[in-house]
Amino acid sequence: MEVRNLTETEDLELKVIDMEPGQSTPFHTHPHAHEAVIVSGVGALRLDGREEALGPGDVLFVNPGEPHAIANRGSTGLRFVCLDCRVG
């Protein structure tokens, strides 16, 4: 998995994440909201008790404190842009 930070301030972080087939972020939580846009590839957003399919153009939102992971479910790379907004 390759993570490229585009910008980071005290209040937000914008990054591009590239995942190879079969890769996944760890199942985790954080105190801030999390949004992402899928640029290319096929993936899944795993939440507590459910999973949602993701493809190009899909936008996901994770509430603060909500357990989640993003996985590449395809046979090619998965690229998405994440925004972590740490403003209360």
* Res 69: pLDDT: 96
**Which pLDDT belongs to residue 11?**
85
Domain locations in the chain as residue ranges = 2-85
pLDDT per residue rounded down to tens, the chain (88 residues): 999 999 888 888 899 999 999 999 999 998 888 899 999 999 999 999 899 999 999 999 999 999 999 999 999 999 999 988 776 5
What separation in angstroms does the CA of 33 have from each of 40, 57, 68, 79? Answer: 22, 19, 11, 20
pTM of the model: 0.89
Element (H, E) at 14: strand 12-19
How confident is the model at residue 34, as a pLDDT?
86
Give the homologous superfamily in CATH for domain 2-85: Jelly Rolls (2.60.120.10)
Alpha-carbon distance of 47 to 77, in angstroms, equals 21
- At residue 84, the pLDDT reads 83
